[in-house]
Amino acid sequence: MQGAIQNLPPTPNGKRIAMRVNPAAERALRQGHPWLFADAITRQSQQGQPGDLAVIFDRNRKFIAIGLYDPTSVIRVRILQHRQPILIDQQWFAQKLIDAIQIRAEIPENTNAFRLVHGENDHLPGMVIDRYAQSIVIKLYSLAWMPYLAMLIPILNNLLKPELVVLRLNRKMLLFPEYLYNYSDGSVLQGTSSNEAILFVENGITFEADIRNGQKTGFFLDQRDNRARVEKLSKDKRVLNIFSYTGGFSVYAARGGAQKVVSVDLSKPALAAAQRNYSYNRSDPAVAACHHEIHAGDAFEVLQDFVNNKLTFDMLILDPPSFAKRKSEIKKALSAYHRLTSLGLRVLSPGGILVQASCSSRVSKSAFFETIHQAAQQNSRHLREIERTGHPIDHPIKFSGGEYLKCLFAVA
């Protein structure tokens, strides 16, 4: 049953701001780049509010692009349409959401949680929409989207008929409460919700997601395919899952026939959720037979402790949070990946399987994989690669700079 819609922000005022940009930005926009930065704007017809439409012209007054204006962000305009002028209205947004749903048509029937809109890569920059069973989470990264919620909710209702719609906000948006219309991170836009977790199914496995308070939108949906790969490789193995969060990889390993799984995370609430996720699936004989342990602590310190105590495992999963959120942190991030690999290989038995991922968009694939191999060589371990993986179908990549996820499967 579809929930009641709460009071939504007012709709856009229809104001349009004409802009000219420098030659570098003009070239980037003509090539389809989804962002216009503030320092690239050379002329602007008037000031505006978040959500106003900015129309960018070249020196001959020919249309280049149109997008959402955000005066609070260094990404001043998030581009909706390039090259050809078009009316940005409810019908336009509806078509974008229909296109996004069609791209996800191959999501398995035994999976009811996936990313419905992947921001820039679905031509809706600054907005992510995730589905968890009958719940929808809208995660915004720009205040420019706030006036469009009243337009988007009816479209989502028509296409998906969700019982619950929750709003998640980027941290920087919270610095400008005057543009949030009394909403906060975790606000309910439609339906009613306690703070209890939502249950959903991924490849036939039941998980919970704290969609109002959890990291991102409540679960790391982008690792779905890699979790399935772990399941196929985990039979009879002792598995160590570092940065386990709520135990996604751990439950898959258990269903794959692992003898033992150890989940390590700094967050005790996340580990408690990992235990619950394990318990939801105990009806599966393989999960019931697998011994599951949790360890709360810093990943590097726990690994060093395991090394000191000569503990070893047959499979090691290293899936850390982003180590580089800006360009200046790339060198530090690569050093952290090197150290993590070095420590990890010291607890991985010879012939064991290493699964190591990065979600740092600033770190290139080549630099990431090269760092892992360098760390292995310096620890006298030869890696025989099984597979290098990237983004799943519901996290498409449509522009340079949009790629972030990479993962290595290797025998060490």
Instruction: Give the DSSP letter string of 6-35.
Output: -PPPPPP---EEEEEE-HHHHHHHHTT-SE
Looking up tokens 């800006």 gives 326
What's the CA gap between 353 and 309, in Å, rounded?
20
What's the CA gap between 304 and 374, in Å, rounded?
20
Take residue 326 and report the two structure tokens written for it: 């800006």
* pTM for the model: 0.93
CB neighbour list of residue 212: distance below 8 Å, 6 or more residues apart = 166, 168, 186, 188, 193, 195, 218
Predicted confidence (pLDDT) at residue 35 exceeds the cutoff of 80: yes
Beta carbons of 117 and 97 less than 8 angstroms apart: yes
Query: What integer pLDDT is reported at residue 3 of this predicted model?
Result: 60
Mean pLDDT taken over the chain: 94
Q: Alpha carbon 160 to chain centroid distance?
A: 21
By CB neighbour count within 10 A (0-12 exposed, 13-18 middle, 19+ buried), where does 344 fall?
buried
Predicted confidence (pLDDT) at residue 1 exceeds the cutoff of 60: no
pLDDT-wise least confident of 10-14, 107-111, 296-300, 307-311: 10-14
Predicted confidence (pLDDT) at residue 148 exceeds the cutoff of 60: yes
Predicted confidence (pLDDT) at residue 337 exceeds the cutoff of 90: yes
Reported as a single tens digit per residue, the pLDDT across 95-139 is 999 999 999 999 999 999 999 999 999 999 999 999 999 999 999
Question: What phi, psi does 45 have (nearest 5°)?
Answer: -70, -30
Beta carbons of 395 and 118 less than 8 angstroms apart: yes
Query: What integer pLDDT is reported at residue 402 of this predicted model?
Result: 85
Reported as a single tens digit per residue, the pLDDT across 355-387 is 999 999 899 999 999 999 999 999 999 999 999
- Cα distance from N-terminal residue to C-terminal residue, the chain: 51
Partners of 57 in the β-ladder: 20, 63
What's the CA gap between 199 and 195, in Å, rounded?
13
What's the CA gap between 256 and 203, in Å, rounded?
12
User: 382 in helix, strand or coil?
Assistant: coil
**Cβ-count burial 257-288 (b if 16+ within 10 Å, e if not):** bbbbbbbbbeeeebbebbbbbbebbeebebbe
CB neighbour list of residue 285: distance below 8 Å, 6 or more residues apart = none
- Per 3-state DSSP, what percentage of the chain is helix, strand, and coil (rounded to 5)? 35, 30, 40
Query: What integer pLDDT is reported at residue 405 of this predicted model?
Result: 96
Query: What integer pLDDT is reported at residue 13 of this predicted model?
Result: 78
What's the CA gap between 357 and 138, in Å, rounded?
26
Looking up tokens 């581009």 gives 79
The band of 250, judged by pLDDT with boundaries at 50, 70 and 90, is very high
User: 202 in helix, strand or coil?
Assistant: strand
Predicted confidence (pLDDT) at residue 233 exceeds the cutoff of 80: yes
Please report, as a single letter, which amino acid is at residue 124: L
Domains of the chain: 16-82 (2.30.130.10), 90-198 (3.30.750.80), 220-411 (3.40.50.150)
Mean pLDDT of all residues in 144-159: 95
**Cβ-count burial 365-401 (b if 16+ within 10 Å, e if not):** eebbbebbbebbeeeebebeeeeebebbebbeeebee
Q: Percent of the chain scored above 90 by pLDDT?
A: 89
Predicted confidence (pLDDT) at residue 193 exceeds the cutoff of 90: no
Reported as a single tens digit per residue, the pLDDT across 267-293 is 999 999 999 999 999 999 999 999 999
Mean pLDDT of all residues in 26-49: 95
Instruction: Give the DSSP letter string of 121-151.
Output: GGT-TTEEEEEETTEEEEEES-GGGGGGHHH
